[in-house]
Structure 1
Amino acid sequence: MTDLTLYRPNVGVVLFNREGRVWYGRRHATPGPHNWQFPQGGVDAGEDLEAAARRELHEETGVTSVELLARTPDWIRYDFPPEAMNNAKAWRGFKGQKQQWFAFRFTGDEAEIDLTADKEVEFDAWRWGDLSEACDLIVPFKRPAYEQVVAAFAHLAQ
């Protein structure tokens, strides 16, 4: 049994447009080819998970016009690769991240999307794409987690 206390609490967001395509952001100042991902981020102590997902979505994309479609029932986790563990952040002693994923439908106008909405810019470009592309775009160590996310939300892309 995996000890989930070794994993940093995190939320992820798959943002669907009205046509069933999903929002991808290109990580700021990160070389390709695996530099596209969904919005995600840490959960503050005592923060409600859906509130954290909405906050992270707004901070990273500027988007607030959304409706909740679905949520993963369980934590999806991944381990940090050894090279990331040497990062100055030291990942605060965590082995990896455990994530609750949320699917939202974007109900606003694309003019709402603002990658500079927060002082810490996560993405420097964005695009709509097919959900099925996710696993090919993400860094390899997150691929098993993304496979679970794609499977959980595939019914929303049709």
Structure 2
Amino acid sequence: MPYVQPEIVRIALRIEGQRIAYSWGGGHGGDPGPSTGTCVGYRGSILPCPAERTRGLDCSGLSRWVYAQAHGQDVLGPGTTNDQVRRMRRVVSALPGDLVFFGRTTAKGLDTHHVGIYLGDGKMINAPETGAFVRVDPVSRLKDFAGFYRL
């Protein structure tokens, strides 16, 4: 894969400025980018589930869209964080533009539930939760850090 980390960061920062809403399952249509989500599997705190009427992105939908723009093709696909992490390799020293995953290690491997785009200096851009917009957060916001990954 070509080195596109600076482009990933540039695209992610541009998207963060657009105030795109979080939507459970958003960004997983035929093409990468904001879409309405789904209420299947929704466990968010806002009830009733707003995903089917909210155009936006969930965390893996955001990483999919950013990586597709930077690479010129849909390199991550429409799957979940678990599908995305399987396409990548873990790195010890993160570079801005790498993905940061959260979850736990099980007997079957890594079971993830969240992904962000690493910006450097302990920060990431992510689609955090229902009711929020794509934003910058500290990586330490979530306690179950699973590692940095690169294509």
Task: Please identify which structure carries the higher helix content.
Answer: 1
Return the TM-score normalized by structure 1.
0.26
Return the TM-score normalized by structure 2.
0.26
* Structure with the larger RCO, 1 or 2 (CA within 8 Å, 6+ apart): 1
